[in-house]
Amino acid sequence: GQQVMQIPQYQHVQEGEDFTTYCNSSTTLSNIQWYKQRPGGHPVFLIQLVKSGEVKKQKRLTFQFGEAKKNSSLHITATQTTDVGTYFCAGPFPHASGGSYIPTFGRGTSLIVHP
Amino acid sequence: KAGVTQTPRYLIKTRGQQVTLSCSPISGHRSVSWYQQTPGQGLQFLFEYFSETQRNKGNFPGRFSGRQFSNSRSEMNVSTLELGDSALYLCASSPRTSGNNEQFFGPGTRLTVL
C-alpha cells in the first residue's frame, strides 16, 4: 500500500492566498525531502528536514517535520503564479526484502494558482 | 557546473523491443539513481548506483537493469518492453555526502511503447 500519503491531491488558489500540503508516513523517517516539479519539468530539490519538530523557512515557504518524524508539511504564504507545480515529499523507507532503505515519494500535491 | 543530462529525451518503441537510456551526472557526483514516473503510480525508485556498484534496488522486475561506468555515467536497460513501461524515466545524481540526501534530477527520457 501507499507508504507516503500526501494531501490534498490538487489545490486551486487565487493568487495571494496561502497554500499547505501535508505528507504522512506509515513509519518513522530518518529524514524527509521536498521537491517541486513544474508542468513539463523535472523534480527540483527544495529542502531536507532531519530533526524532530524541525521548522525551516525559504522566503515564502515554510517546511515542518513532525515531532514523531512521521509527518511533514509545506506552507506557502501569499502564493504567486510562479508557485504553480506539483510538490512532492520523499523519505527513505525500508525495502520489502529488508536490509536497505529506498527513496519513496508521495504522489504529490498539484498547486494551481489563478491570477 | 553543468546539470544532469539524459539522452535521448524522447523514444518510441514497440512491445517486445529493448531500450537503453543514458544519464550523465553532475561532475563529481558518484551516485546515480533512476526513477520511473507515471500518472498512475507516481515517482517510483528503480535502482541506485554508486562507484559502479548497484547500491539499492526498488520493486521492479528483472527486465529493468542498469550499470554505471568509471566516469559515473549510467545507463539503464529495459528488455522485452511492455505497454505499461511507457513513462518518464528520470535520472538523479547526488554527491552522497554524509546526511545529505539531496538529489539533482535530469530532464528525463519520455518512453512510449506502442
CB contact under 8 A, B105 and A108: no
At which residue does the C-alpha cell 527486465 appear? B63
Q: Which residue of A has its CA nearest to B88?
A: A42
Q: Quote the mean pLDDT of chain B.
A: 93
Which chain A residues are Cβ-neighbours of B33 within 8 angstroms? 103
Rg (CA), chain A: 14
Within 10 Å of residue A93's Cβ, how many Cβ atoms? 18
In sequence order, which residues have a C-beta less than 8 Å from that of residue A59 and are 6 or more positions away? none
Sequential pLDDT tens for chain A (115 residues): 558 999 999 999 999 999 999 999 989 999 999 999 999 999 999 999 999 999 999 999 999 999 999 999 999 999 999 999 999 999 988 876 666 788 899 999 999 999 9
pLDDT of residue A104: 92
CB contact under 8 A, A33 and B102: yes
Question: Which chain B residue has its CA at the smallest distance from A47's CA?
Answer: B102
Mutate to test the interface with B, among A23, A30, A42, A72 (most CBs of B within 10 A): A42
Dihedral pair phi/psi, residue A81, rounded to 5°: -65, -25
The Cα of A113 is separated from the nearest Cα of chain B by a number of Å equal to 21
Average pLDDT over residues B67-79: 96
Quote the pLDDT of residue A2: 54
The model's confidence at residue B2, banded by pLDDT at 50, 70 and 90, is confident
Q: How far apart are CA B110 and CA B108, in angstroms?
A: 6
Q: Name, in order, each residue with C-beta under 8 angstroms of B89's C-beta and a sequence gap of 6 or more.
A: B6, B21, B34, B35, B36, B37, B76, B108, B109, B111
* Residue-wise DSSP of A8-66: -SEEEEETT--EEEEEEESS--S-EEEEEE-TTS--EEEEEE-STT-EEEETTEEEEE-
Closest residue, chain A, to B108 (C-alpha): A42
Q: What percent of chain A has pLDDT over 70?
A: 95
Residue A95 has a pLDDT of 74
Q: Which three cell numbers stand for residue B16?
A: 517486445
- The pLDDT, as a whole number, for residue B27 is 92
Q: Which of A35, A48, A96 sits opposite B59 (nearest CB)?
A: A96
Residue B12 bridge partners (DSSP): B112
Three cell numbers, residue B47: 535502482
Instruction: Provide the pLDDT for residue B25.
Output: 96
How high is the pLDDT of residue B84? 96
